[in-house]
Copies of this chain bind each other. A is one copy, B any other.
Amino acid sequence: MIKFSINKNAFQNALRITKQAIGTKVTIPALTKLKIEVEEKGITLIGSNGQISIKNFLPADNKDASMLISGTGSVLLEAGFFENVVSQLPEVTLEFIEKEQKQVLLTSGKSEITLKGLDSEMYPHLQEISQGASLKMKVKALKEIFTETVFAVSTQENRPIFTGVHLETLATGELKAVATDSHRMSQRLLALENPTDLKFDVILPSKSINSFKNVFTNDEQEIEIFISGSQMLFQNETISYYSRLIEGAYPDTNRLIPKETDYTLDLVFDAAELRHTMDRARLLTVMTTNGTVKLTVSGDSVVTTANSPEVGSVHEELTALSKEGSDLSISFNPEYLIDALKVIKAPEVRVRFISNVRPFTLQPRNEEIGFVQLITPVRTN
């Protein structure tokens, strides 16, 4: 039967990570539980919501954990409740002892808490990926391309493929990430640092991407990516993060990106100034159904206007840091431009237009091809 003592903070951190995969709205009741497996070599905390699964291994010789294992076994505990109890324990060390009938006695200082557990046999079998070809990447690089694309996924469940980010390894040695909700698109190409035999063309759910950053918190670490059937695995020395993939073929988005020769107007803005101008326009447009901001370029003047019949209007001059091409007047949802600018870290942004009915593109200035965003205008009368 299980018996170990451990540093409370180290145990709590491990619980916090595993809990990222445990939901309260699950179809299989056992999935609200945390599975604790104790072996001589260490403790594994397992959680899953059927879409994401996390195995988090705390090795017995982990320095921060001051672990002492004197009995092995496995048990299921109510995840949320167990995490709350551990976080409220009074002392720096806690002792975890399995009693008869899967009861667990937690002691810390003068506090003794008995928890009802369940047999780990009740936990569903989690699919595992047989190791094979893998891709090694820095956590930081992966987080970056996730952040730059995931905001553009669709929230409409009727076309599931657009609720995820399309990830594809290219023959050029690049990783391509792209997301679109049909109103806007964000695409990022990343030159891979490490050569790899792993080739993939998959759609990763946005929820898996959003939890990823809470699970892998050390940006400087390397993680290894594996793929098998409908599962993707991100793994470091102690954490295995599994995600289901979205089935289906992602459309070829390259054909949506305009050719260099298509553009008729090329503007450069200070990214922060453009962002604030859009924030103000948005105050008006959110008061109106399908509210749009109009950008009018005429000679040297660049003006934005937005109008809400109920509350008022905004009129603002923008400073273009550079301008080449013909005059244009185009309307669009400022929300999309705000979202796009949020993920552009460069201080200056290049915005290029074809016509008032064709999508326009945003890129960090001085960046050639790696990161491009597309926004579809709204036709107005």
Listed in ascending order, the chain A residues whose CB lies under 8 Å from chain B are: 78, 81, 84-85, 88-90, 103-104, 110-116, 276-277, 279-280, 283-284, 287, 310-318
Contacts and interface: CB of A to CB of B under 8 A. Distances in A.
A311 B111 contact: no
16 contacts: A85-B283, A88-B279, A88-B280, A89-B280, A90-B276, A90-B280, A104-B312, A111-B277, A112-B315, A113-B284, A113-B314, A113-B315, A114-B312, A114-B313, A115-B311, A116-B311
Which residue among A81, A89, A104, A279 has the maximum number of chain B CB atoms within 10 Å of its CB? A81
B88 A283 contact: yes
A79 to B, nearest CB: 12
A6 to B, nearest CB: 18
A78 B116 contact: no
A276 B88 contact: yes
Contacts of A112: 314-316
Q: Which 8 A-B pairs have the closest CB atoms?
A: A115-B312, A110-B317, A112-B315, A114-B312, A113-B314, A114-B313, A111-B316, A88-B280
A37 to B, nearest CB: 21
Nearest to A104: B312
Copies of the protein in its oligomer: 2
B283 A84 contact: yes
Contacts of A110: 316-318
A287 B88 contact: no
Contacts of A313: 113-114
Nearest to A279: B88
A321 to B, nearest CB: 15
A272 to B, nearest CB: 10
B310 A280 contact: no
Given A89-B280, A111-B316, A113-B280, 9 more contacts: A78-B311, A81-B287, A85-B283, A111-B277, A111-B314, A111-B315, A112-B315, A113-B284, A116-B312
Nearest to A115: B312
A82 to B, nearest CB: 9
Nearest to A81: B311
Contacts of A81: 283, 287, 311
A85 to B, nearest CB: 6
A304 to B, nearest CB: 10
Contacts of A276: 88, 90
A116 B310 contact: yes
Contact of A85 (B90, B280, B317): B280
A78 B308 CA distance: 13
A29 to B, nearest CB: 13
A312 B113 contact: yes
A86 to B, nearest CB: 10
A379 to B, nearest CB: 25
Contacts of A104: 312
A36 to B, nearest CB: 15
Contacts of A316: 110-112
A90 B103 CA distance: 61
A336 to B, nearest CB: 18
